[in-house]
Structure 1
Amino acid sequence: MKKYQIISNEVAPHEGYAKIASDFEGTWDGVRLNIDNDYLKLFITSFEYMNGMQVAHLNMYSNTELTFKNALKENKKFIIIRIGYSGAYSDNKDYRRFNHDGIFIYNTNQPFNIEYPYQVNSQWITIRFSLEVLEFFDQGIESKFDKLLNNDEPFFHYYTLDPEIEGYINEMIKVEDNKITRKISFFARALDILASLKEKLEKDQLTSSNIKIHPDDFNSMVLLKDQILFDFTQPPNLNDLSRELGMSISKLNRNFKAVYQLPILQYFNQHRIEETYRMVKYSDKSLTEIADDLGYSHVGHLSRTFKKQFGFAPSSIRGTLY
């Protein structure tokens, strides 16, 4: 099987889970999906709550080209928060790479396709909820978050992933195999994420970026993001990317900035330094090894860049320098 398209809808994803489990000879019991074969490795934990609210963690490695097509469902208006990350786990089980995709918020009032990464380990969290759920927790108090989501027009918003929300995701995943607490924990952490986003928007700590480019260009930018962050030892070459995508460098940067709020090279450097912080703090690797893994010319280059960004030396958050 070389290509596979999932035709489902974001309002009722469990229907799609059941079909893909059948097509790939996996299992789906209403909470856990397990597929483990040469074509696809897909593991999902998904819970449903009041008013159709759903919270899920998905982990996938595919040797099949997978695409998802959203089939619109009339009279059903849901909001989707998708928090994605990719990369392998290190020996230190507390270390995960969450930074690649950031946070997408969009509504279901639109047709769209999602092309999943091919032969790359990908994981993401999804929180789906209706506006009724939002109103239940709002207690009649209007906020910037409400205004953002109460929009009948199609929208996509993108935000970078900050440490607070990353921490909530870590807590969610740690209890995934605990059948006694996991459903409650998924729900609690999802509410924490919603509350954090709401508070940050209210305090103008997040800059809203409503994506308004052609759908084909949007898909190209999403795939480009995966490409440039796949290997931090290879900074993106704008001339090569321009030729590959058939657009000028100025249009390339303009489209990329429309989605991710930064030009390509700044985005790459920002994510590389964030990844540096994670590896310094959580991995067992020496700074020399981290410098090699992330494409710094030498450990001194890493240390200077780190201190310029964070205001303190990398050695201050770990035991040894080399």
Structure 2
Amino acid sequence: MTVVFTNDARERISIQPNPVPVPHVKPEIWQEEQADIADCAQLRFRHLYFDGVHIGYCHLDIHENIQVTTEETTPLPGFVFLQQGSCSVTSFEDRTTRHYTAGQHTVLKNPYATATTVFKKQHNMQLFLLSFLPERFQQLVQDIGPVTDELANSMFRYQPGPQAWHDSRPITPRMQFLISEISNNHYQGTWNKLYLQSQVLELLTLQCEQLEQTVAAPKRGFRLLPADIKKVELARDILLHDLQNPPSFTMLCKQVGLNEFKLKKGFKQVFHHTVFGYLKDHRLEIARSLLSAGELSVTEVAYETGYTTLQHFSNEFKKKFGVSPARIKQRI
């Protein structure tokens, strides 16, 4: 199957093979691919296939606006995490165009085959892709919940699903941590496979849990307008901008233009966490990453992530991860 690239004038500028995974690819081996798309873009793709699961990382440098089209193909249900950049996707199922921005993820029937994907000029666009053979996806998500069951059955039977499945959802700090762990793990052989399986299953569980909650959320009597959701997302960005000096809740409400009730309820609905519970989790995930990197002391990590005392940091870290930050340093 091929991928066709056109420019804003709808002129064909390149045809490339689709990097869609296939079951006979040797498992547990990372494959590296690069492609120059005329003078318009550079693509770097790293991927791995094992046990009906496909993991892919895509980095794109887009030098001018391009449009990508593919042929419709068999389902390969999966999730796309847009870590950096933006794009617009038109699906084969309902021909609806949806716009995605950094920090979001969504469900696609096949992340490697969309009717049209439009990329604007941008540098270092980053995508993480997690997809499954339909039978494997159905097996993994069976009985998680009614929304996920319906999604799996729809994909398995090649049927279109509700629009809500394709809506973007936020990449939580825990999801981002798992993506980083999958990308940077150093296990080999059987240990590599076991480790990847555990990380992929946790990531899939978080996605399905989020899907169940967000699709069902409008039925609970509190609904945010699209403009309100953007304000809630802005509140998240402001909150995480300076971990050492985050704004107070009252100041955060003023900065985004929402009252305290709507921000509190809206943040819980969008991110499934309280405002400062989300901040604390993010701080601790960053702290664990910094400790694992081994370049900073425990005291320096505590300061970098906004803790005023080492004792408070150590207590919170051990409560979340079951081990003290000093023990993390000792393992390096």
* TM-score normalised according to structure 1 size: 0.56
Structure 1 residues 306 and 192: CA distance shift in structure 2, 3 A: closer
Q: Pairwise CA RMSD of aligned residues?
A: 5.5
Question: Structure 2, unaligned stretches of length 5 or more?
Answer: 19-32, 85-90, 104-121, 155-160, 219-223
Q: Which residue of 1 aligns with 2:255?
A: 244
2:213 pairs, out of 209, 213, 218, with: 209
Query: How far, CA to CA, are the matches of 1:15 and 1:48 in structure 2?
Result: 24
Question: Structure 1, unaligned stretches of length 5 or more?
Answer: 1-11, 87-105, 176-186
Q: Which residue of 2 aligns with 1:81?
A: 79
Pairs aligned (count): 260
Q: Which residue of 1 aligns with 2:116?
A: none
Query: How far, CA to CA, are the matches of 2:317 and 2:289 in structure 1?
Result: 11
Does structure 2 retain, via aligned residues, the 8 Å contact 1:80–1:107?
A: no
Query: How far, CA to CA, are the matches of 1:107 and 1:196 in structure 2?
Result: 29
Q: Which residue of 1 aligns with 2:100?
A: 114
Does structure 2 retain, via aligned residues, the 8 Å contact 1:27–1:34?
A: no
1:170 aligns with 2:184: yes
Q: Which residue of 2 aligns with 1:274?
A: 285
Query: How far, CA to CA, are the matches of 2:212 and 2:78 in structure 1?
Result: 16
Higher RCO (Cα < 8 Å, 6 or more apart): 1
C-alpha deviation, 1:116, in angstroms: 3.8
Map 1:1-322 to 2 at 5 A.
15=4, 19=7, 31-32=33-34, 44-45=44-45, 56-59=56-59, 79-83=77-81, 111-116=97-102, 123-127=126-130, 133-135=133-135, 138=138, 142-144=142-144, 147=149, 149-150=151-152, 152-153=161-162, 154-155=164-165, 156=167, 160-161=174-175, 166-171=180-185, 195=201, 200=205, 208-210=212-214, 212=218, 213-319=224-330
C-alpha deviation, 1:312, in angstroms: 3.4
Does structure 1 retain, via aligned residues, the 8 Å contact 2:77–2:134?
A: no
Deviates more, 1:40-49 or 1:147-156: 40-49
Does structure 2 retain, via aligned residues, the 8 Å contact 1:209–1:259?
A: no
Q: Which amino acid aligns with 1:45?
A: F
C-alpha deviation, 1:267, in angstroms: 0.5
C-alpha deviation, 1:293, in angstroms: 1.2
C-alpha deviation, 1:251, in angstroms: 0.7
What percentage of residue pairs aligned between the two structures are identical? 19
1:89-130 Cα offsets, whole Å, 9 max, x none, are: xxxxxxxxxxxxxxxxx997554322348x99874402356x
Structure 1 residues 234 and 226: CA distance shift in structure 2, 3 A: same
Structure 1 residues 136 and 60: CA distance shift in structure 2, 3 A: closer
1:170-194 Cα offsets, whole Å, 9 max, x none, are: 349x99xxxxxxxxxxx99998766
Q: Which amino acid aligns with 1:82?
A: V
Structure 1 residues 57 and 43: CA distance shift in structure 2, 3 A: same
Structure 1 residues 43 and 292: CA distance shift in structure 2, 3 A: farther
